Amino acid sequence: MADSQDRKWGMVVDIDRCTGCNGCVIACQSENNIPNNLEEHFNQRRAIQWIRIERYWEGEYPNVKARFIPVMCQQCGNAPCEPVCPVYATYHNNEGLNVQVYNRCIGTRFCANGCPYHVRFFNFWEPEWPDSLKNQLNPDVTVRSRGIMEKCSFCVQRIRRSTREADRDGVQVEDGDRGISPACVNACPTTSLTFGDFNDETSQVSIMKEEAMSNRGKKDGRGYRLLDNLGTETNVIYLKKVDESAGAVHGH
Amino acid sequence: MIPGDFQPKRPTGGQLVKLGVLGVVALGVFVLVVLGLTFHISAWLGQPVVFARSEGPEQPIAFPHTTHVQELGMDCTFCHRNVEKEAAASVPATGLCMTCHSAVGDDLDEIEKMRSLYEDGRSIHWVRVHRVPDHVHFVHEAHIRYFTEKEGIETSQVCQTCHGDVKEMEKVKQVETLKMGDCVSCHKENSAPTDCVTCHY
C-alpha cells in the first residue's frame, strides 16, 4: 500500500445523464448497512441517506422539466466539518478522503452543523432491520450504533480491498475498476457517476475534470462544484452547464 | 454514679444482631465491589487479574490442537484455509474433519459427536475465542503476506505473533490482549500505515 500516499480519490457526476432513478441510493443503502428509513424518519428530518437525489423543477407548466442532482459527501479538500470535531473523529487522510472514525465519535454533531451539503447523518436510534434483511448486512462495514455520526466514505472498504488485492497480485489498481468504484457508481445505469484518482493524470476523472474546468464559463462549458464560493475545494465535480450570472443574483 | 450523669445508651440484644448483620453485609458488598473493580480495570488495562479460569472456554467438541499439530504435524493453513487468501481465517466445515474422521478415531466420544452433527447436516457452534470489535477490520491475508514475503517467516510462525503457541493448547485461549495499542505499536515497528481508516471503516 505504498502508493496510497499519492492518491486523491474523487468523483465526476454528469447531471445531464442522471435520470433520477435512485439506483445509487439503494446501492448505497445496502452496501453500507444503512438502516431502513421509515416515513416518520423523513418527517423528523432524521433519515439517513449517504447519497440522495435532489429534485428541482425547471420551467412553467406545461413545459416542466425535472432536474436531479445526486448529492453525496463532497470529500472537501478544505472541509468545514473537520476542524470543529473536538475528538478528531473526522479528519483528512492522505488519500484525499474525509474520514469518519466511528469509534472516536462522541456524537457532538458539530460536524453536521458545519457541513453545508447536509451529507452528515446522526444516528438517533439503534439501527434496525427487518429479520429478512439481517443476513444481507455487509461484513466489511461497521454497523453504526446510536449516538454517532456517519457519512459517505466513498466506499473506503472497497478501496481497501481493491488496493490489498492489487498488492497481493503485484499489479496496480486499474482506473475505472468496478471493484474499487463505490456502490453508487457501479449501480448507475446511465454511467452518470465516475470514480477515480485525481492525482493520476491519465484517469478518466482527471480528463473529465480538466475538460470541465478549462471550459468553465465558455459557451458550451460544463462543470461546477456544489457551493464552490464557500471554498471547500470539493473532490466531486458536477457536469452541467451553469449560468453563473443567475447564481450571482440569488446567491446563497 | 452521680444521678444525672451522662449514660451512653447500651444497644439491646436485637439491635446488636441487626447491626452485626448490616456490618457483615456491608463488608461483603465492599469486598465484591473491590474485586469487581480490580477485575474490570485490570482487564481494561490489558493485564487481567483472573479470579476464575485461566484456560480457554469449553468448546462444544473438545478439539485438541495439541494432537493435530504436534503429533500429526498439520499446518494451521490445512484447516484454516482462507487465512492466506482472505480477511477471515475461517473455521473449516465439518466435511473437512470427515475426510479423516470417517475412518479415524472410531472409539472416541468427541468424534462420535462430530459425526452425528455431520450426518444431521448441522454445523458445530464453536465458542469464539479471538474477537475484535465490530469497528475493527482485521485482514489475515495482508498480515501473513507481509511477514512471509518481506520477512521470510513461515505462516505458522506468523500466526503465533497474535494467537500465541496454539499447538501447546489443549483448549485455545487468548494470550494477547488484542488492544489497539498492540496493533499500532506493531504497525509502527513495521512502518505499516497508521491511518485510522486502515482498520476502522
Per-domain boundaries in chain A: 4-243
More confident residue, A123 or B49: A123
Q: What are phi and psi of A237, to 5 degrees?
A: -110, 135
d(CA A147, CA B30): 34
Question: Do residue B133 and residue A168 have CB atoms under 8 angstroms apart?
Answer: no
Residue B151 pLDDT grade (very low, low, confident, very high; cuts 50, 70, 90) = confident
Residue A252 confidence (pLDDT): 43
In A, minimum Cα distance to B193 occurs at A1
Grid cell, residue A12, equals 465526476
Q: How many CB atoms lie within 10 A of CB B172?
A: 20
Residue B43 pLDDT grade (very low, low, confident, very high; cuts 50, 70, 90) = confident
Q: Compute the average pLDDT of residues A150-172.
A: 92
Examine the pLDDT at A245 and tell me if it is beyond 80.
no
Q: Locate cell 467438541: which residue? A: B61
Mean pLDDT, chain A, whole residue set: 89
Examine the pLDDT at A251 and tell me if it is beyond 50.
no
Q: What's the sign of the alpha-carbon dihedral A92, A28, B201, B92? A: negative
Examine the pLDDT at B168 and tell me if it is beyond 90.
no
The closest of A166, A251, A159, A205 to A14, measured between CA atoms, is A205
Examine the pLDDT at A192 and tell me if it is beyond 90.
yes
d(CA A95, CA A197): 9
Examine the pLDDT at B194 and tell me if it is beyond 50.
yes
Residue A206 confidence (pLDDT): 92
- A chain contacts of residue B131, beta-carbon cutoff 8 Å: none
Residue B189 confidence (pLDDT): 93
CATH code given to domain A4-243: 3.30.70.20
Grid cell, residue A5, equals 500516499
Q: Find residues 159-198 of chain A whose CB sits inside 8 Å of chain B.
A: 160, 164, 167-168
- A chain contacts of residue B196, beta-carbon cutoff 8 Å: 91, 93, 99, 101, 104
Question: Do residue B200 and residue A140 have CB atoms under 8 angstroms apart?
Answer: no
Is the predicted ipTM greater than 0.85, yes or no? no
Examine the pLDDT at B83 and tell me if it is beyond 60.
yes
Facing A93 at nearest CB: one of B133, B134, B195: B195
- Residue partners of A49: CB distance under 8 A and separation at least 6: A25, A28, A29, A34, A37, A121
Mean pLDDT, chain B, whole residue set: 87
Question: Do residue B195 and residue A103 have CB atoms under 8 angstroms apart?
Answer: no
Total CB pairs under 8 A between chain A and B: 48
